[in-house]
């Protein structure tokens, strides 16, 4: 039998162990896997582009465990009552190829993205950071806020979104959790005085949410939303003034903020900073940018963290995904026995 965590049990898991410890634990798992980056067999993601959106498969493997995520991105979905992004993921045993675990990843992806952002910021932002500006109050925003509070102690947020309803939802969800939230009339206003800036919108265009003139020395920019060819959020001038950190460079060159810059623009792999093989921030005046697009290792880490947490518990259901006859060559007899197996 194959383990299964659907939406219902994902929510039970999250509410039982609490979102704060979940994000902290997941960030540890992701950091652990980033530190052993060279061990992973990294494959390109496979995208099917359509007029409505994109459907992607993101596989990766270490010597023992293989994972992949199915994820779609349909920017017009919210207007029709659907989510922009849904996802699910699978773990398989490399030694015999059998799938061992299937999980919903719409919620899990929101968690892993926030955990990855905060993990990167913990390594790159100034230690004395106290205020985070957020441009974009969509699905991902609350998860980001909580991850930054848990990993960096940030409690003061300055938020801007073009959609007032999204901003209201953000305030409604986070105020009871003890955040100090300032709603701002523009992105320019939001970033004023913030040591950390998170950009996270879903527009599938080259939008400029953040102008270089508004970004002060010393700031850390957590650039989440530029994650697709033709989809960026930053004034490229910001990148030129910054040290830019990336997940998997070949993918980020195509999908990240740096798609706007020449191939020769220097970037630093985040994993090298975490593994002590490259410098992160070198002075209090550096601008650091985490040009995040989302990479398969983060999904691998999130899935294995979830699997280790729920395995053997009532939160992990079982589904009969793998036909496994006693005689491996007698699939026919197994499927069509005169006395059916079931």
Query: In DSSP terms, which residues pair with 42 in a beta bridge?
Result: 60
- The least CB distance from residue 20 to a copy of itself, in Å, is 11
- Residue 126 or 149 with smaller CB distance to a copy of itself: 149
Check residue 11 for interaction with a copy of itself (CB under 8 A): yes
DSSP string, 84-149: S--EEEEEEETTT--EEEEEE-HHHHHHHHHHHHHHHHHHHS-TT--EEEEE--STTHHHHHHHHH
Distance, in Å, from the CA atom of 147 to the CA atom of 114, rounded to the nearest integer, reads 6
| Residue closest to 72 by CA, chosen among 61, 90, 60, 88 | 88
| Interacting residues with a copy of itself between 95 and 114 (CB under 8 A) | 95-99, 102, 104, 106-107, 110
Q: How far is the CB of 258 from a copy of itself (least distance, A)?
A: 25
Binding residue (CB under 8 A) for a copy of itself from 23, 24, 31, 66? 66
| Residue-wise burial string across 270-297, b where 16 or more C-beta atoms lie within 10 A, e elsewhere | bbbbbeeeeebbeeeebbbbbbbbbbbb
Measured in degrees and rounded to the nearest 5, phi and psi for residue 210 equal: -140, 120
| CA 65 – CA 96 distance, rounded (Å) | 10
> Binding of a copy of itself at residue 38 (CB under 8 A)?
no
Cβ-based nearer residue to a copy of itself, 51 or 262 = 51
# chain residues binding a copy of itself, by CB under 8 A = 87
**Residue 296 binds to a copy of itself (criterion: CB under 8 A):** no
Residue of the chain from 21, 52, 175, 284 that contacts a copy of itself (CB under 8 A): 52
Phi, psi of 71 (to 5 degrees): -145, 140
CB within 8 A of 276, min separation 6: which ones? none
- Answer for which of 27, 29, 92, 194 binds a copy of itself (CB under 8 A) is 92
- Give the nearest distance from C-beta 241 to a copy of itself in angstroms: 32
Q: Choose the catalytic residue: 33, 214, 227, 291.
A: 227
| Least distance from a copy of itself to the Cβ atom of residue 124, Å | 25
227 is a catalytic site residue:
yes
**10 near a copy of itself, judged by CB under 8 A:** yes
The residue within the footprint of a copy of itself, chosen from 21, 63, 153, 217 (CB under 8 A), is 63
Tell whether residue 61 is a contact of a copy of itself (CB under 8 A): yes
Instruction: Give Cα separations from 3 to 27, 167, 237, 240, 319 (angstroms).
Output: 23, 37, 48, 47, 6
User: How many angstroms separate the Cα of 204 from the Cα of each of 2, 8, 253, 274?
Assistant: 36, 31, 17, 31
Among 8, 36, 127, 241, binds a copy of itself (CB under 8 A): 8
Based on the shown chain and the rule CB under 8 A, indicate whether residue 283 belongs to the binding site for a copy of itself: no
* Interface pick for a copy of itself out of 25, 28, 35, 78 (rule CB under 8 A): 78
Helix (H) or strand (E) holding 274: helix 270-274
CA distance 71 to 299: 11
Q: Which of 154, 114, 160 is nearest to 131 (CA)?
A: 154
CA dist., res. 43 & res. 290, Å (int): 22
Applying CB under 8 A, which part among 53-61, 222-230, 272-280, 303-311 lies near a copy of itself? 53-61
232 has which bridge partners? Answer: 206
186-245 positions binding a copy of itself, by CB under 8 A: none
Minimum Å gap between C-beta 46 and a copy of itself is 5
Which of residues 136 and 269 has its CB atom nearest to a copy of itself in the complex? 136
Q: Which of residues 119-178 bind a copy of itself (CB under 8 A)?
A: 137-143, 163, 165-166, 169, 172-173, 176
**What positions carry a catalytic annotation?**
227
């Amino acid at each position: 039998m194959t383990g299964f965590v659907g939406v219902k049990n994902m929510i039970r898991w999250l509410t039982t162990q609490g979102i704060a410890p979940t994000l902290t634990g997941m960030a540890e798992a992701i950091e652990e896997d980033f530190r052993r980056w060279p061990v992973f067999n990294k494959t390109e993601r496979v995208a099917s582009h359509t007029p409505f959106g994109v459907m992607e498969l993101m596989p990766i493997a270490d010597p023992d465990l293989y994972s992949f995520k199915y994820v779609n991105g349909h920017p017009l979905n919210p207007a029709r009552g659907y989510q922009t992004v849904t996802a699910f993921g699978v773990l398989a045993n490399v030694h015999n190829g059998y799938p061992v675990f299937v999980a919903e990843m719409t919620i899990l992806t929101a968690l892993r993205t926030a955990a990855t952002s905060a993990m990167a910021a913990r390594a790159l932002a100034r230690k004395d950071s106290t205020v985070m500006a957020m441009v974009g109050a969509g699905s991902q925003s609350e998860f980001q806020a909580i991850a930054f509070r848990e990993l960096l102690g940030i409690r003061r947020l300055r938020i801007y979104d073009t959609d007032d309803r999204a901003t209201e939802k953000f305030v409604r969800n986070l105020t009871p959790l003890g955040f100090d939230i300032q709603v701002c009339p523009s992105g320019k206003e939001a970033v004023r005085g913030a040591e950390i800036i998170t950009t996270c919108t879903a527009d599938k265009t080259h939008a400029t949410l953040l102008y270089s003139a508004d970004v002060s020395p010393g700031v850390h920019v957590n650039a989440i939303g530029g994650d697709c060819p033709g989809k960026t959020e930053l004034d490229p001038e910001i990148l030129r003034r910054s040290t830019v950190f990336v997940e998997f460079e070949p993918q980020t060159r195509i999908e990240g903020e740096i798609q706007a810059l020449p191939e020769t623009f220097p970037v630093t792999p985040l994993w090298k900073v975490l593994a002590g093989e490259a410098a992160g921030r070198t002075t209090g005046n550096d601008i650091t940018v985490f040009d995040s697009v989302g990479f398969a290792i983060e999904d691998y880490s999130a899935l294995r963290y979830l699997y280790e947490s729920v395995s053997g518990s009532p939160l992990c259901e079982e589904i009969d995904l793998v036909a496994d006859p006693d005689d491996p060559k007698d699939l026919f007899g197994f499927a069509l026995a005169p006395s059916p197996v079931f």
